[in-house]
Amino acid sequence: QKEVEQNSGPLSVPEGAIASLNCTYSDRGSQSFFWYRQYSGKSPELIMFIYSNGDKEDGRFTAQLNKASQYVSLLIRDSQPSDSATYLCAVKKQAGTALIFGKGTTLSVSS
């Protein structure tokens, strides 16, 4: 079992819809969870991080964490064509360790 798993997609949604991106992780002791967006040919950029169970909202983005189910998700409301990118889920086991990345989900928002 991979440490961080994501559906590779592509996930296609129409403009204005809600995009739901999912991620599961294998290490129950993982402490912090991150969502990065990566445009083709560019470096990853941080969208959100979460480390407590529940929801965390930032603008159009909501991260959801369920440690019991070892599941973290990212919701993008009012999706825009500019949101079309690969979304990487990353997990940190503990302070001082590197991030472990999933393979990423490709999102395509059509206008």
Partner 1 sequence: SAVISQKPSRDICQRGTSLTIQCQVDSQVTMMFWYRQQPGQSLTLIATANQGSEATYESGFVIDKFPISRPNLTFSTLTVSNMSPEDSSIYLCSVEINLNLMNTEAFFGQGTRLTVV
Build a one-symbol-per-residue string for 47-76: x at contacts with partner 1 by CB under 8 A, - elsewhere: --x-x-------------------------
Q: Which two tokens stand for residue 111?
A: 């206008």
**Calpha distance 44→15 (Å, rounded):** 23
Residue 84 CB, nearest approach to partner 1 (Å): 16
Using CB under 8 A as the binding rule, whether residue 111 contacts partner 1 is answered as no
Rounded distance, CA 11 to CA 19, Å? Answer: 8
Residue 10 in the binding site for partner 1 (CB under 8 A) = no
C-alpha span between 53 and 45 (Å, rounded) = 23
User: Which 3 state secondary structure label does DSSP give 30?
Assistant: coil
Among the listed ranges 21-29, 53-61, 72-80, 94-102, the one in contact with partner 1 (CB under 8 A) is: 94-102
Which residue in 32, 61, 70, 71 binds partner 1 (CB under 8 A)? 32
99 part of the interface to partner 1, by CB under 8 A:
yes
With contact defined as beta carbons under 8 Å apart, do 90 and 74 qualify? no
The reply on whether position 1 binds partner 1 by CB under 8 A is no
